Every structure is written in structure tokens, then in C-alpha cells.
């Protein structure tokens, strides 16, 4: 399973990166300051990504 990250520029949507997960994504959220994205999957694995690198 993958988390796909997109950029939206006006009406143009373009894929920025793809982040791999072991199970189906069950939840994701950005931090209030927009610097981090946290995603969890059905295997109860939680991954914290740093924006804009998503690593």
C-alpha cells in the first residue's frame, strides 16, 4: 500500500511523491504547523514524515 502526495497549483494536480506502507492506510493527519504528516496503517504501523521531503 502507498500514500500518494500531490501538489495542487491552481487547477493542476501533480504527484509529488509516493510513500510505502505495509497495510491499508487507516488514518493520516498534518501537524498544525504543516511541517509533518503522520500516517498509520491496518498493521498499526505509524510513520511520521517530514514535509516537504516526506522522508
- Residue positions counted in the chain: 55
pLDDT digits (tens, 9 = 90+) for 40-52: 988 888 989 888 7
CA 50 to chain centre: 9
Domain range list for the chain: 2-50
pTM of the model: 0.67
pLDDT digits (tens, 9 = 90+) for 23-34: 888 998 999 998
Which residues, 6 or more positions from 33, have their beta carbon under 8 angstroms from its beta carbon? none
Tell me what the pLDDT averaged over the chain comes to.
86
Which residues, 6 or more positions from 19, have their beta carbon under 8 angstroms from its beta carbon? 2, 3, 5, 39, 47, 49, 54
Assess whether pLDDT exceeds 80 at residue 55. Answer: no
| The pLDDT value given to residue 10 | 92
Amino acid at each position: 500500500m502507498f500514500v500518494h502526495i500531490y501538489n495542487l497549483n491552481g487547477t493542476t494536480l501533480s504527484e509529488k511523491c509516493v510513500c510505502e506502507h505495509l497495510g491499508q492506510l487507516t488514518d493520516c493527519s498534518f501537524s498544525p504547523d504543516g511541517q509533518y504528516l503522520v500516517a498509520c496503517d491496518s498493521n498499526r504501523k505509524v510513520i511520521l514524515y517530514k514535509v516537504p521531503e516526506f522522508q
